[in-house]
Every structure is written in structure tokens, then in C-alpha cells.
């Protein structure tokens, strides 16, 4: 018997269409949430890095309820997409502006194409795109699908209009199979958490049975990330090979200085001497074994400078405090931004904020809000290292006795966030990141402890004042009978004496009463 083996290559677009669950499109409820998330993130990436205060409009409408078809529309006021690039941006997998070494919300621009693939897999409807760049005379409209065999865009329709009002931005409409009832809460949580870390954004959302307006709370924006070069510890053999193909005539000395972050002439010489490599050897002439040796030595050398954080854009403590206070309705928020650190040659910054009291309900375990590159992470909380850090934290050392009205926000920004899975919903247990999370939480908790200590002192003073003040009228009346001095004058003098004794005015104490915890709840509980 003759056995015939049939082999074929699976095109990349077709592979992602068949395996859409790896990008979060495993069911109709998750897919609806994921579609909103991908489109909103693209809108933020089209505005924030360019100094544009984001205005984002989101609308979800039922198209055919018997089939669970919904249209999702997202419009922004960003920099827009050049007309000729729109088909590739929406219709070619692994075609993106996100391949530079700097912080991005997305990774490869893959999520946008997954939206298109999911739409045509479930409703067979094209994605509709309208866009205009800043100062463009034209507005371009396309209806696009993806040819999964060729990984190419299929242009269903194309139009252009005069841009007489000088509008700029991108508007996207897609029809998908979704589950509004099961995704409603997730979408609302996602938008509110986005408003916390991006309080400079204005978000308008209209769903089938709800509206949500998240107004801009500040016009201050974080500094945009810069583009940079890879750190020598972050590269592998294939990356070094690609660099050599692009710079075949460079010497090893030139190759190191021109293609890696933080390598000057002196550092390059020290490394090459340590590795036993000829500085004048042309990289194009390296054998496969020599390329592998070079990549291994780049990772092993301990003399490299730490990666710079210029290509990172943390939210900043001030914006975290503004966002958490306004969206969570917290009584007080304490935020910190740690200094840059690195893992495996990738720079990262950890930020933490603790929100206390106000509208936050008492909970047995702190409410955790997780972010990566300013993206709210809503799923897989149990697999996230942040959950581990918060659960292991000794809150009693900081005057917090659970249950307590406590929420914790942890944000990791990096050129390469180490996600625990392809779904990008949880951060893996990287020791350097875990330690920075722990230190950031400790820094924020110290501020909380100072605040709670002050409130304890206020409570003590208030109790002392109440204890003394309740006798003022009785003592004033007795002294009035004995001395004949006016009772009101005696009361005023006695109150002043109490203020001197306590070291605080009665008016100040009255003001503090309004900010004290609810009746029956002490500051540490």
C-alpha cells in the first residue's frame, strides 16, 4: 500500500481566522467586548501620542436581533490614516505602525484585523472605514474585507469627498455576531477604567439600553513615548540576523554602536574584547556559528547600561489621582510612579495608586484595577502577578483592617509587556516586575498610613472636644449665677479655652467632620 502525504502552507490570515480565540474572540460576548476594546485603543493611540485631547464616540446598535447581529461604531479625532494606506491597515494581517521600539497599547496591530476577520466569519459583512489626516483636503471611505488566502485586502467599495470642514480622525463601523446582555457590564467597566488612567479623554458611549458620558477631567497629558533602539540583552539570534541583513557592510564596532541602545565606542570596545571578537570584522562575513555566538554574548554581558525609559509613557501620579478620584468617587487617592527598571533588556515602569473611602464599598479583599500600557485588563485576574502581590501585602502594617473601602490600581508600561497568555489579559510572574509592584504598593501604602494616622488624630480631637463642649452650657450658667457675667460671653471664652487646649479651632474640627468615615466605621476598618 502506498501512503500519500499531502502538505500545504496555511496563510497567516487564515490561521488567525481559524484560531480567533487566541486574540479574545472565543465567543459572542467576549468578541463584542474585544471589538470595542480594540477600536477604542486604536483611537487613543491615534490621539494621545500626538498631543491631541481624545474625543471618542462609541455606539452599539442591534442590526438583526434574531441572529444576534450588532453594529459597532467608533469615531475619534486623531491624526487619521492616509487614504492609500487604509486598505492595508484594515485588510492585511501584520501590517501596522506598531513595530518600532516604543510603548504601544497594542502589540502588532493584530487586534484590528481580528475584528475584520471575526466580522466576516460571523456576518460576512465588510468593515466600513472613513478617515482623513490632519489638514487633508479629502475624506476617504472604504468597505474592506480580508482575502485570507493571500492575506490581502478586498476593497468592496471606495469613495472620497471634499473635506470642507477640515475634519480629521477615523470612524469605523463593523457588524458582528455579539451578545450585548453578557458583554454590557464588561464594556462599561472597560470604559470607566479607561477614563481612570486617561482622564484627559472624553468618551461618549450609547448602547442598546444605556448611555455613558465620561467627561474630560483634565487637559494635562503624559509625555508621548519616543522611538528607540533595542537593548543588547533583549535580542535573539533571528533579530541579530535581520540586523546584519540590513547592515551587511558594517564592522562589528559600527554594528554595535549604530543598532543598539546605549552603546558608545568605549562600551563597544569593552564588550568585543570581553567576547574575544575582532572589532573590524565585517558583520556580513560572519558564519552562522559566529552569529549565534554574538547573540549569546550580547545577552550574557553584564556591562551594558540599563535600558533607557525614553520610549515609555507612564500615566503619572497626578493623572492617576485625578482619574481614580473622579471615576471611583474615592475620598482620597495616593499614587506613585516608580523609577524605570528592566527585565531581559526591556525597560518598564510600574505605577500604583490606592483609592480609599468615599463611594468605594468595604470589601474583604482590595478591589484590583490592572493596566498594561494604559490598557485595562478585565479577564484572567487570578493569573496576574498583580493579584498575587496585592493578596500577599500586609495591610495591617499600614493601619488598614479588612474589610475596608479600598481599591488598588497597578499599571505596568513597557516596550514589551510579558503577558501570561496570548489573550493579553494578565501579566506573567517576572521577578523584576513583581518586586517593583511590591515596592510601588508599599510607597503608596505609606502615604495612606499617614492619611489614616491624621484622621485618627482628628477623631481623637473631635471626641475630646465633644467631651468638653457638652459641659460648656452648664458651667457657663453656673458661673453666670455666681459672677453675674453674661452667659454667652462665658460660653465663648470657654470654647476658646478648649480650642487652645486642643490646638485646633472648632471651625476646623467641624470641617473635618464631613470627611470622616460613616457612622460606626473607624478609619482602620
Neighbours of 4 (CB within 10 A): 4
pLDDT score of 149: 84
- Of the listed ranges 223-227, 283-287, 388-392, 450-454, the one predicted with least confidence: 223-227
- Of the listed ranges 113-122, 142-151, 434-443, 482-491, the one predicted with least confidence: 482-491
Q: Are residues 336 and 424 in the same domain?
A: yes
Chain-wide mean pLDDT for the chain?
84
Q: Are residues 193 and 282 in the same domain?
A: no
pLDDT tens digits, one per residue of 303-319 = 888 877 778 889 999 99
Q: Are residues 440 and 462 in the same domain?
A: no
Domain that holds residue 242: 232-300
Q: Are residues 348 and 273 in the same domain?
A: no
Distance of CA 354 to the CA centre of its chain: 16
Q: How far apart are CA 351 and CA 190, in angstroms?
A: 19
| Interval 73-85 mean pLDDT | 95
pLDDT score of 236: 82
Stronger pLDDT, 516 or 280, i.e. the higher one: 280
Q: Are residues 409 and 432 in the same domain?
A: yes
pLDDT over 70 (residue 515): no
pLDDT tens digits, one per residue of 407-426 = 999 999 998 888 887 678 89
With 0-12 / 13-18 / 19 or more C-beta atoms within 10 angstroms meaning exposed / middle / buried, residue 230 is: buried
pLDDT over 50 (residue 65): yes
Q: Are residues 125 and 198 in the same domain?
A: yes
pLDDT score of 151: 84
Give the phi and the psi of residue 227 in degrees, each rounded to 5. -85, 140
Neighbours of 349 (CB within 10 A): 21
| Interval 72-92 mean pLDDT | 93
- Picking from 214, 241, 275, the residue at the C-terminal end of a domain is 214
In sequence order, what are the residues at sequence separation of 6 or more whose Cβ sits closer than 8 angstroms to the Cβ of residue 92? 13, 113, 146, 151, 152, 153
Q: How many residues does the chain have?
A: 525
Torsion of CA 461, 465, 466, 470, to 10 degrees: 170
Q: How far apart are CA 153 and CA 144, in angstroms?
A: 6
Q: How far apart are CA 29 and CA 357, in angstroms?
A: 33
pLDDT score of 514: 47
Q: Are residues 330 and 479 in the same domain?
A: no
* Percent helix / strand / coil, the chain, rounded to 5: 40, 20, 35
| Interval 275-295 mean pLDDT | 90
pLDDT score of 74: 97
- Global pTM value: 0.80
Give the phi and the psi of residue 6 in degrees, each rounded to 5. -110, 120
pLDDT band for position 441 (cuts 50, 70, 90): very high
Q: State the Rg of the chain over Cα.
A: 30
Report percent pLDDT > 90 for the chain. Answer: 52
pLDDT tens digits, one per residue of 9-60 = 556 666 666 666 666 688 899 999 999 999 999 999 999 989 999 999 999 9
- Picking from 214, 248, 275, the residue at the C-terminal end of a domain is 214
pLDDT over 60 (residue 485): yes
On whether the CB atoms of residues 179 and 68 are closer than 8 A, the answer is: yes
Q: Are residues 346 and 445 in the same domain?
A: yes
pLDDT tens digits, one per residue of 442-474 = 999 999 999 988 877 766 666 666 655 666 666
On whether the CB atoms of residues 248 and 282 are closer than 8 A, the answer is: yes
Does residue 226 lie in a domain region? no
Q: Are residues 487 and 445 in the same domain?
A: no
Stronger pLDDT, 503 or 431, i.e. the higher one: 431
DSSP string for residues in 411-445? EEEESS--BSSTT--SB---HHHHHHHHHHHHHHH
Q: Are residues 125 and 254 in the same domain?
A: no
- 65 secondary structure, DSSP code: T
The domain tally of the chain equals 4
Q: How far apart are CA 171 and CA 56, in angstroms?
A: 10
| Interval 110-128 mean pLDDT | 89
Q: Are residues 364 and 404 in the same domain?
A: yes
pLDDT score of 261: 83
Does residue 6 lie in a domain region? no
Task: Give the closest residue to 433 by CA, choosing from 338, 367, 369, 307.
Answer: 338
Give the phi and the psi of residue 453 in degrees, each rounded to 5. -65, -40
Q: Are residues 477 and 343 in the same domain?
A: no
Does residue 408 lie in a domain region? yes
CATH number of residue 178's parent domain: 3.30.565.10
- Picking from 169, 184, 214, the residue at the C-terminal end of a domain is 214
Q: How far apart are CA 67 and CA 57, in angstroms?
A: 25
Q: How far apart are CA 50 and CA 131, in angstroms?
A: 17
For the beta sheet containing 69-75, the strands, ordered from the edge strand earlier in sequence to the opposite edge, are 152-162, 138-147, 127-132, 169-177, 69-75, 55-64, 202-206, 211-214
pLDDT over 70 (residue 498): no
pLDDT score of 500: 66
Give, in order, the Cα–Cα distances in Å from 185 to each of 131, 188, 190, 297, 378. Answer: 30, 5, 8, 50, 11
Neighbours of 288 (CB within 10 A): 9
pLDDT over 50 (residue 351): yes
Does residue 7 lie in a domain region? no
pLDDT score of 520: 35
- Of the listed ranges 81-95, 119-133, 402-416, the one predicted with least confidence: 81-95
Amino acid at each position: 500500500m502506498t501512503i500519500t502525504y499531502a502538505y500545504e502552507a496555511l496563510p497567516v490570515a487564515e490561521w488567525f481566522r481559524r484560531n480567533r480565540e487566541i486574540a479574545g474572540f472565543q465567543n459572542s460576548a467576549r468578541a463584542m467586548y474585544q471589538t470595542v476594546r480594540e477600536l477604542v485603543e486604536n483611537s487613543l493611540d491615534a490621539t494621545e501620542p500626538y498631543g491631541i485631547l481624545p474625543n471618542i464616540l462609541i455606539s452599539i446598535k442591534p442590526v438583526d436581533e434574531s441572529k444576534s447581529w450588532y453594529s459597532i461604531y467608533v469615531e475619534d479625532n486623531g491624526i487619521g490614516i492616509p487614504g492609500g494606506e487604509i486598505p492595508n491597515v484594515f485588510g492585511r494581517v501584520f501590517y501596522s505602525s506598531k513595530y518600532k521600539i516604543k510603548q504601544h497599547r497594542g502589540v502588532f496591530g493584530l487586534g484590528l484585523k481580528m475584528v475584520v476577520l471575526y466580522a466576516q466569519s460571523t456576518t460576512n459583512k465588510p468593515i466600513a472605514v472613513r478617515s482623513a489626516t490632519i489638514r487633508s483636503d479629502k475624506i476617504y471611505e472604504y468597505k474592506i474585507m480580508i482575502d485570507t488566502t493571500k492575506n490581502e485586502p478586498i476593497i468592496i467599495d471606495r469613495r472620497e469627498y471634499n473635506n470642507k470642514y477640515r475634519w480629521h480622525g477615523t470612524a469605523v463601523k463593523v457588524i458582528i455576531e455579539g451578545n450585548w446582555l453578557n458583554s454590557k457590564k464588561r464594556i462599561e467597566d472597560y470604559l470607566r477604567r479607561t477614563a481612570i488612567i486617561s482622564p484627559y479623554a472624553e468618551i461618549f458611549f450609547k448602547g442598546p439600553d444605556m448611555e455613558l458620558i465620561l467627561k474630560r477631567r483634565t487637559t494635562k497629558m503624559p509625555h508621548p513615548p519616543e522611538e528607540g533602539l533595542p537593548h543588547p540583552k533583549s535580542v535573539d539570534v533571528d533579530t541579530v540576523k535581520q540586523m546584519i541583513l540590513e547592515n551587511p557592510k558594517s564592522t562589528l564596532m559600527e554594528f554595535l554602536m549604530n543598532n543598539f541602545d546605549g552603546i558608545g565606542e568605549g562600551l563597544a570596545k569593552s564588550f568585543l574584547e570581553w567576547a574575544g571578537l575582532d572589532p573590524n570584522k565585517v558583520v556580513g562575513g560572519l558564519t552562522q556559528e559566529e552569529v549565534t555566538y554574538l547573540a549569546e554574548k550580547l545577552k550574557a554581558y553584564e556591562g551594558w547600561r540599563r535600558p533607557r525609559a525614553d520610549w515609555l509613557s507612564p500615566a503619572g501620579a497626578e493623572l492617576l489621582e485625578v482619574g481614580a478620584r473622579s471615576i471611583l468617587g474615592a475620598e482620597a487617592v495616593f499614587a506613585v510612579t516608580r523609577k524605570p527598571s528592566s527585565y531581559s533588556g526591556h525597560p518598564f515602569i510600574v505605577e500604583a495608586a490606592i483609592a480609599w473611602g468615599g463611594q468605594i464599598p468595604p470589601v474583604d479583599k482590595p478591589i484590583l484595577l490592572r493596566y498594561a500600557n494604559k490598557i485595562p485588563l478585565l479577564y484572567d485576574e487570578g493569573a496576574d502577578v498583580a493579584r498575587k502581590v496585592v493578596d500577599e501585602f500586609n495591610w495591617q502594617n499600614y493601619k488598614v483592617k479588612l474589610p475596608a473601602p479600598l481599591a488598588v490600581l497597578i499599571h505596568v508600561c513597557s516596550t514589551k509587556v510579558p503577558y501570561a497568555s496570548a489573550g493579553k489579559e494578565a501579566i506573567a510572574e517576572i521577578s523584576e516586575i513583581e518586586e517593583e509592584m511590591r515596592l510601588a504598593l508599599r510607597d503608596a501604602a505609606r502615604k495612606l498610613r499617614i492619611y489614616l494616622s491624621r484622621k485618627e488624630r482628628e477623631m481623637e480631637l473631635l471626641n475630646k472636644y465633644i467631651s468638653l463642649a457638652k459641659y460648656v452650657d452648664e458651667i457657663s450658667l453656673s458661673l453666670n449665677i455666681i459672677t453675674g457675667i453674661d452667659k454667652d460671653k462665658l460660653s465663648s471664652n470657654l470654647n476658646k479655652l478648649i480650642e487652645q487646649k486642643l490646638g485646633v479651632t472648632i471651625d476646623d474640627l467641624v470641617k473635618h467632620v464631613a470627611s470622616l468615615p460613616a457612622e460606626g466605621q473607624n478609619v482602620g476598618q
